[in-house]
Structure 1
Amino acid sequence: MQRQPLAPRSWVLHGVQEKRRNTSPSLTPPQPSPQSTMKMHFSIPVSQQRLDTLGGRYVLYSVYLEGFLFCKVRYSQLHRWNEQLKRVFGNNLPPFPPKYYLAMTTSMADERRDQLEQYLQNVPMDQNILRSEVFIRFLKLLQQDTFKITTKKVSLDVFLPDGRSIRIEILTSDTAERVLEIVSYKMGLSRELIGYFSLFLIQFQSDNVLSVMKKMAEFELPYVSLQSTEVENCKVGLRKWYMDPSLDSMLMDCQTAINLLYEQAVQEIEKKWAKPTEEQRQELEALRKAGNQTKFLELAQKVQHYGYMQLDSCACDYPEPGCVATLAVGNNEISCYFKLPSNQTQEVNFKMSRIKSWQVTFLGTLLEEEESPQQTLNQNLELRFQYSEGNNSWQWFTIYSKQAFLLSSCLKKMITEKMMKLAAENPEMQIEVPLEQGKRKKSYHQQSQTNSFDFPLRKGKISFKSTEEDCVFETIREEDL
């Protein structure tokens, strides 16, 4: 087994601007455009030279998604895929690295790897491409081929927040989107509410400790990811996927959704992720014994850190280097509980309205067995964010965590929810997405007085009620699956 140092690789996320138009308000809030999706956390930290059956050499790229090995692919495969995408979507694609007809130097090989990485990050930003059969089918086949998993019927256990699991019958080639639909059908969750939930990879540790490792992408194959992960005691779990606790109100017309929210709220309190006061704890316990889930959830929304994503303990460089921190992310803030080297403690809340940008950087080393389809990466990840205390000066803060990509996903989710709320409240607001760094027409960052954030919208799965009347949700039919 060899240990190979890897060059640092970063994923920088920048902002959007808010601009007022002198037009009359529209009757409905603007919808996010297909091009306003943020980059996905695709990365190619390593590549390998291999021999083909004729003795020729080729390069095999290890593609990671959210810090986990997703697939391995050759340049020729990606080139053919790009040609297929061009036939369907024309030339509105990010640039694809050109062919080299002579032997590549080391610098040329590194440049191609960087270009392929950028290509994979940029292609899914167009929702039309992301949802297309040509996009999904290619990535499905790559996942299966990388880990030698053929298409067949299997049973999959999906774990709920209360510890129970639901066993469903799926195909190994079913995407996370489809698996979520099957789970929702079996549980009786209304179709309109599926977008409020997601599938996650969750590690169940000793002493009833669990750790959320990553959110699954809709085109990801849960069965394959579960079989290929090197994380011990890893399961597929169903959890709500929004960071604004007030969105609970959108789910109150569906009893299945109420049950899921209630189970997760109880879990958060039992594991001390949410921190009720003693008075709140007593009232919550009384409501729990009375079986009043709705009132329980209404009170839970007032509890500190309710609905936050709890991360494992990690290291950071603030307030001083070498500090240990516990992070909880939600409700437009990063809440950090620091333990200083002097054993003193300090709690700091970083507000999203004061974050200008952030980046995730991979600083790891590679442990590789030559014949293994997998490569073990030391998860030396860091997330750096630029923060202002309000005096127009910006400071970088660094968090070292194996859950850096999950943290980044949570930050993006909070941006999305805030921007959609602003769009609903201000129909005349126009969101402008700037060009990539180094390509923008002008460098411009602005703190909006309405606390908007520097990031583009994700596709609009969250809907808004237009009246106070009870909604009648459409249930998922078996023939739709």
Structure 2
Amino acid sequence: MGTNDISRHHILERAFLDFQVSSFGSSAEAVTLEVFLSDGRPVNIECYSNDVTNVVLQKFARVIQLDESKIDCFGLFLSRPRNQDKDGSQENIASSSVVFDQLCVRWLKNFEAPYISQQLANKDSEENGSFYKVVVRRTCWDPSTEEPLLDDPGGLKLLYLQALNDVHRGVMKINPDIKDKLQAFQEQGNFRQFMRLCHLQPTYGYEILVPVISDYPRENTKCQLKVGRRQILLEYEDNGFHTQTALKSTRIRVWRVSHRDNQPISSQMLFQIEYLVAKEEFNVITLQTNQAVILSQFLQSIAAEILQDHRTH
């Protein structure tokens, strides 16, 4: 039984949820959960403390006017300010105060209750002043799969706000002409055309994770890590030049997550990929990252999307 099978099995889901609820030590109660949009505005969701992720997503969809048949295109994540040090301070106060910039640290799944997960995470981190928010993010990995969402009021709003935030943060790099066109669409309130122009940009659709240490192209290479458009992007300096390597998901035979012994917890995890570099020739690429689990979840989601495409067509 694979990881996805385990996480989707309702009996095991219920067992994990019951364990989480009992460890939280509080009976189910009516609560208000803040789910943050990409512009930093919270959406208040009236739910129960033990409501699982899918239930919270359904309630969120009703509030935001998203067709419930399309909720699989989005996910709930625990997040923290991107440039936050371990002591809770901000590396870049100016930018973080202007633009909502959250780092996704955990993809909330259906074997847990988002309210309890957030409360437990904040309880563990309150000493260093780090506080986690629940944010909603798109979980589509190819612009073509977003096309049906452009006719859904809630879906279009969520895509637009995230794309606009990516532009403001400089994540989606675009030339001045494209930026002017996007601004014109924004001023006209033409969000559908805004998104269609975004879909044409090769820098659209990436989730930015924390930098990693890679053994590619050589040992101890520090890389920026992006996941999107059904691939992993590694960006690094190579002989004085800024270089980008794309690891396409369709060329990844297998990946694995493991721990490094005798290392601090924050750097214990390894993410290894068996990657097809030539016909019947695979190389192993190793990334040192404390986000190996969420990176694995992203690749699982990409694989599921590709499989669904094949079934549809």
| Distance 1:343-1:228 versus aligned 2 partners, 3 A rule | farther
- Give the letter aligned to residue 274 of structure 2: Q
Aligned twin of 2:117: 225
| SS of structure 1 residue aligned to 2:278 | coil
Q: Could you tell me which of 145, 154, 160 is aligned with 1:247?
A: 145
Please give the per-residue CA displacement for 1:342-370, whole angstroms capped at 9, x wherever unaligned: 65432111122221111111226699xxx
Q: Please list, as runs of the form range in 1=range in 2, the aligned pairs for 1:279-318 lying within 5 A after superposition.
A: 279-318=177-216
Rounded to whole Å, the distance in 2 between the matches of 1:365 and 1:219 is 31
- The question of whether the paired residues in 1 share the 8 Å contact of 2:267 and 2:288 is answered with no
User: How far off is 1:190 after superposition?
Assistant: 1.3
User: How far off is 1:310 after superposition?
Assistant: 1.3
Aligned twin of 1:384: 272
Rounded to whole Å, the distance in 2 between the matches of 1:216 and 1:167 is 18
| Distance 1:393-1:271 versus aligned 2 partners, 3 A rule | same
**Matched residues, percent identical?**
25
User: How far off is 1:146 after superposition?
Assistant: 1.9
Aligned twin of 1:9: none
Aligned twin of 1:189: 66
Rounded to whole Å, the distance in 2 between the matches of 1:140 and 1:199 is 16
Q: Could you tell me which of 279, 282, 286 is aligned with 1:394?
A: 282
By percentage of residues, which structure has more helix? Answer: 2
- Give the letter aligned to residue 137 of structure 2: R
Highest relative contact order (Cα 8 Å, sep 6+), 1 or 2?
A: 1
Q: Could you tell me which of 401, 420, 444 is aligned with 2:308?
A: 420
Rounded to whole Å, the distance in 2 between the matches of 1:248 and 1:186 is 20
How many residues are matched? 292
Pairing 1:350–2:247 present: yes
- Give the letter aligned to residue 3 of structure 2: K
Aligned twin of 1:102: none
Q: Please list, as runs of the form range in 1=range in 2, the aligned pairs for 1:43-58 lying within 5 A after superposition.
A: none
User: How far off is 1:320 after superposition?
Assistant: 1.2
| Distance 1:267-1:338 versus aligned 2 partners, 3 A rule | same
| Distance 1:314-1:168 versus aligned 2 partners, 3 A rule | same
Q: Could you tell me which of 17, 24, 31 is aligned with 1:140?
A: 17
Please give the per-residue CA displacement for 1:193-227, whole angstroms capped at 9, x wherever unaligned: 11211111111243324211121111211111111
- The question of whether the paired residues in 1 share the 8 Å contact of 2:266 and 2:290 is answered with no
| Distance 1:379-1:141 versus aligned 2 partners, 3 A rule | farther
- The question of whether the paired residues in 1 share the 8 Å contact of 2:140 and 2:146 is answered with no
Rounded to whole Å, the distance in 2 between the matches of 1:137 and 1:416 is 23
Please give the per-residue CA displacement for 1:286-326, whole angstroms capped at 9, x wherever unaligned: 21122210000000001123112211212111111111111
Please give the per-residue CA displacement for 1:77-122, whole angstroms capped at 9, x wherever unaligned: xxxxxxxxxxxxxxxxxxxxxxxxxxxxxxxxxxxxxxxxxxxxx6
Pairing 1:174–2:54 present: no
| Distance 1:145-1:247 versus aligned 2 partners, 3 A rule | same
Aligned twin of 1:215: 107
Aligned twin of 2:220: 322
| SS of structure 1 residue aligned to 2:151 | coil
- Give the letter aligned to residue 233 of structure 1: F
| SS of structure 1 residue aligned to 2:275 | strand
User: How far off is 1:336 after superposition?
Assistant: 1.1
Deviates more, 1:277-286 or 1:314-323: 277-286
- The question of whether the paired residues in 2 share the 8 Å contact of 1:149 and 1:224 is answered with no
| Greater Rg by CA | 1
| SS of structure 2 residue aligned to 1:311 | strand
TM (norm. structure 1) is: 0.57
Q: Please list, as runs of the form range in 1=range in 2, the aligned pairs for 1:152-163 lying within 5 A after superposition.
A: 152-163=29-40
Is there any run of 5+ residues in structure 1 with no aligned partner, and where? 1-34, 41-121, 368-376, 426-481
Please give the per-residue CA displacement for 1:210-262, whole angstroms capped at 9, x wherever unaligned: 21112111121111111112452211111111211111111122111111110
Q: Please list, as runs of the form range in 1=range in 2, the aligned pairs for 1:461-472 lying within 5 A after superposition.
A: none
Rounded to whole Å, the distance in 1 between the matches of 2:224 and 2:311 is 33
Pairing 1:408–2:296 present: yes
Rounded to whole Å, the distance in 2 between the matches of 1:317 and 1:136 is 37
